[in-house]
Amino acid sequence: MRILSLFTLLALFLLSLSACNETSSSPVVIEGAWIREAPPNATAMAGYMQITNTTDKHIILHSAASPAFKAIEFHRSVEKDGVYRMIPHLHLHIAANSTFELKPGDYHLMLFTPAKRLVEGDEVTLTLTFSEDQDVETIVPVKKAEY
């Protein structure tokens, strides 16, 4: 009886170890991702998320792709004299051990030419390609803007 429970404990311990390895093996963590629902004829949509680099080296986000869109760019909204402009960035830098936030009025994904109208409740598969050809795939929900 005692031996059996020791085995059970050991099995549980090993299980928890492998679960830990799975989550900590990805150096990049994507959280809070969403795409803002746009009017019916919109040719572009905006996407936001927090990207955490858990390594002690800085990481570059080179590109983003999705079967739901023709093209995806990185933009930053910049206000000058009360006018917002969007500045394209070829890639984004995520500093070591830090979180980079894409948020309304700041850095965002610009998702061009949706294959079909996307509304709240829809989900989109997004592939982010980081330094050293590391791909991170994530599912991004479409939501109405929160004010």
Q: Please report how close the Cβ of residue 74 comes to Cu ion at its closest, in angstroms.
A: 9
Q: Count residues contacting Cu ion (CB under 5 A)? A: 3
Minimum distance from residue 6 beta carbon to Cu ion (Å): 58
- Shorter beta-carbon distance to Cu ion: residue 4 or 88: 88
CB of 122: closest distance to Cu ion in angstroms? 20
Q: Using an 8 Å Cβ cutoff, are 64 and 135 in contact?
A: no
Tell me if 110 contacts Cu ion by CB under 5 A: yes
Nearest distance from C-beta of residue 108 to Cu ion, angstroms: 6
* Binding flag, residue 36, Cu ion (CB under 5 A): no
Residue from 75, 126, 131, 138 touching Cu ion (CB under 5 A): that is: 75
For residue 61, which of 126, 4, 114 has the smallest C-alpha distance? 126
79-98: which residues touch Cu ion (CB under 5 A)? 86
SS3 string, the chain, reads CHHHHHHHHHHHHHHHHHHHHHHHCCCEEEEEEEEECCCCCCCEEEEEEEEEECCCCCEEEEEEECCCEEEEEEEEEEEECCEEEEEEECCEEECCCEEEEECCCCEEEEEEEECCCCCCCCEEEEEEEEHHHEEEEEEEEEECCCC
Min. distance of Cβ 30 from Cu ion in angstroms?
A: 19
Instruction: Return the structure tokens found at 36.
Output: 């803002």
Q: For Cu ion, give the closer residue by CB, 66 or 131.
A: 66
Closer residue to Cu ion (CB): 65 or 86: 86
The residue ranges that bind Cu ion (CB under 5 A) are: 75, 86, 110
